[in-house]
Amino acid sequence: MDNIIAKRLSFFIKNERLAQNLAVRILAKDCNISPSYLSDLENCKCELNEAIIKTIFSELDIDFNLEEQIFKYNNIKQDFDSFLNCVYFQDNEKAEDKFQKYLANQYNKFNLYNEELELLQLIYYLSYRKTNKLIRSLVETLELKQNLLSIEEQILFLLYKAIYLKNLGEIDTARKLLLTIVANVEDKKVISLIYYQLGALYSKSNKVALSIKYYLDAKAIFDSNLNYIRSLYVCSNIAVTYIYSEAFLEAIEACNECIMIAKRLGLNNVIMINAYNLSYIYMRLEQYTEVNKYVVLALKHGVPDTGIYFHNAYSYLQLNELSLCEYWTEEGVSKLKENEPLTKKLYEYLKLRMRNEMEKSINKLIEIIESNEIDDCFDNQDRRFVIKELFKLCETTSHSDIASRYISYLQN
User: What pLDDT shows up at residue 196?
Assistant: 97
The whole-number pLDDT of residue 304 equals: 79
Count of beta carbons in the 10 Å neighbourhood of residue 145: 17
C-alpha 222, offset from chain centre = 20
What pTM was computed for the model? Answer: 0.79
Please count the other Cβ atoms lying within 10 Å of the Cβ belonging to residue 408: 8
Residues of the chain with pLDDT under 70: 1, 106-107, 130-132, 410-412
The domain spans of the chain are 3-64, 69-149, 334-412
CA 289 from centroid of its chain's CA atoms:
33
According to the model, what pLDDT value does residue 107 have? 67
Amino acid symbol at 105: N
Q: Say what the pLDDT of residue 301 is.
A: 95
241-259 per-position pLDDT tens digit: 998 888 999 999 999 999 9
DSSP state letter for 106: P
Residues 6+ apart with CB under 8 A from 352: 360, 361, 364
Between the alpha carbon of residue 59 and those of residues 29, 63, 99, 167, the distances in Å are 11, 10, 36, 46
- pLDDT attached to residue 132: 67
CB atoms within 10 A of CB 276: 24
Residue 124 near residue 97 (C-beta atoms within 8 A): no
Terminal Cα distance for the chain, rounded: 54
Interatomic CA distance for residues 397 and 299, integer angstroms: 36
pLDDT at 138: 94
Residue 63, C-beta contacts closer than 8 angstroms, at least 6 positions apart? 110
280: Cβ contacts below 8 Å, ≥ 6 apart: 243, 307, 311
- Supply the CATH classification number for the domain 3-64: 1.10.260.40
According to the model, what pLDDT value does residue 379 have?
81
In order, the DSSP letters of 198-210 are: HHHHHHHTT-HHH
Segment 55-96, tens digit of pLDDT? 999 999 988 888 888 898 898 899 999 999 999 999 989 999
